[in-house]
Amino acid sequence: MNQTICESIVNGYPKKPKIFQGIENIPCYYMDGDIIHLPDYTDLEDYYRDLFHELIHSTGHPSRLNRETIYTTNYFDSSKDCGTIEELTATFGEMVLCHFAEISTEKLKKTITECFQYYDIKQNSVQSAQKYMGEAVLYILKN
Ligand SMILES: [Zn+2]
């Protein structure tokens, strides 16, 4: 892991959501209030992996990319329901940001494989998620 790159990704994201840690046990992004909640971590790679995932969700906020899939539910639990386009978008984006930051993606590959085994994910959902993921990653990195 390259923590300098991790921090530059997070700090380079302008007007990012407020991030609270240790209040909730599940990493979540709440569109209402534009807030990310993260649990406490013992592993720094887990922290950044989850933070990147929630940052990708937050790019869908109406004040940013206004992604239509952000409206499917009011909050996003990164541990479940990766069958939706929004969850695929966040998981793909997490993987790309982890790659930039030299964070191991083995856990993520396992998660994605399980998603495809468990959910009936359609090819056009994957294509939509790839497109949204590209926009989200550029939004975070280019600003
Ligand atoms: Zn998620």
What's the CA-to-centroid distance between 79 and ligand 1, angstroms? 7
Per residue of the chain (143 residues), what is the pLDDT tens digit? 999 999 999 999 989 999 999 998 999 999 989 999 999 999 999 999 999 999 999 999 999 999 988 886 545 554 445 668 898 999 999 999 999 999 999 988 988 888 888 888 888 889 999 999 999 999 999 86
60 close to 30: Cβ distance less than 8 angstroms: no
What's the CA-to-centroid distance between 94 and ligand 1, angstroms? 9
Q: pTM of the predicted model, to two decimals?
A: 0.92
SS3 of 1-24: CCHHHHHHHHHHCCCCCEEEECCC
What's the CA-to-centroid distance between 128 and ligand 1, angstroms? 16
What's the CA-to-centroid distance between 52 and ligand 1, angstroms? 10
Name the E strands within the chain.
Answer: 18-21, 28-30, 35-38, 75-77
